[in-house]
Amino acid sequence: MTDSNATRVHLTLDSVLDSVETVETLAETFAQRAGFDEDTASQIAMVSREATVNAIVHGNQYDPAKHVNITMEITQAILEIRIADEGAGLDADALPDPLAPENILLPSGRGVFLMRAIMDEVHFHKLTPGTEIEMVKHRDQKETHP
Amino acid sequence: MSMKFTTREVNGVTILDLSGKITLGEGGATLRDEVRSIVSKGSKKILLNLADVNYIDSSGLGELVSAFTAVKNAGGELKLVNLTKKVRDLLVITKLVTVFDVKDDEASAVSAFA
């Protein structure tokens, strides 16, 4: 999919679930290339999948006229993954806490929580239109999974 | 790869042996439907064997929660056994490990049902 030595990639993908697999595979490749162990790379791939599902399902709502823009970059210090939709926008601060007793048995609402738990930094940027989620993992960490 | 499952019964406990991925659009709905089907047939003791589940995401966690709730609301019990490290890690992160009754081996899981 990408040059085996590439440290930066940008993709524009359709708002279909097949795109999720593309992002997940690419994220795992980049995470491994950045030096993360197998478990951490798998978790980075998983949260990239979560963000892409959110972009397609909640952001773009499968609208074929809208796309998902993906950028992944490895620098000396970090792995950065940016996933942007063209939807109506997301107020991440308003998301309910999935650990709260009243929410723990809800069937959904854990995606952003997992991103924040697994990545070192998660930032949401408002676009016009849409939302970009920026996820950062520091390369000096060998393991973060519990 | 999607999720696959087989169903068997041991000492009155219905055991679902799951394998593959529990994710959005890849078998998650199948798990929910299967558990509800088992409950509707009168089984109140359900054990999910996750030994061969190599991947789960937030949608898959939601499916496990939905299955748990459906069984509980029907007056039954649902337990989990043989969690892989990936699945266990996510249950710990999301604190769902405090909700589910998780067992390490099938024999102790089966005997733990009332």
Q: Strand ranges (DSSP E) for chain B?
A: 4-10, 13-22, 45-56, 77-81, 101-103
Residue ranges of the domains in chain B?
A: 4-111
pTM of the model: 0.89
Q: Which residues of B touch A114 (CB under 8 A)?
A: 57-58, 90, 93-94
**In this predicted complex, what is the ipTM?**
0.85
Residues in chain A: 146
CATH superfamily of the domain spanning B4-111: STAS domain (3.30.750.24)
Note whether B65 contacts A105, CB cutoff 8 Å. Answer: yes
Nearest-CA residue of chain B relative to A145? B89
Structure tokens at B101: 């009754």
Q: What is the rounded distance in angstroms from the CA atom of residue A21 to the CA atom of residue A36?
A: 20
Task: Walk along chain B (114 residues) and give the pLDDT tens digit of each residue.
Answer: 477 889 999 999 999 999 988 887 654 457 888 899 999 999 999 999 999 998 899 989 999 999 999 999 999 999 999 999 999 999 999 999 999 999 999 999 999 997
Nearest alpha-carbon partner for A51 in A135, A144, A139, A140:
A135
| Residue A59 CB-density burial (10 A; 0-12 exposed, 13-18 middle, 19+ buried) | buried
Which domains, ranges and CATH numbers included, belong to chain A? 8-138 (3.30.565.10)
Q: Answer whether A111 touches B (CB < 8 Å).
A: yes
Nearest alpha-carbon partner for B61 in B28, B102, B26, B37:
B28
Whether pLDDT at A60 is above 50 = yes
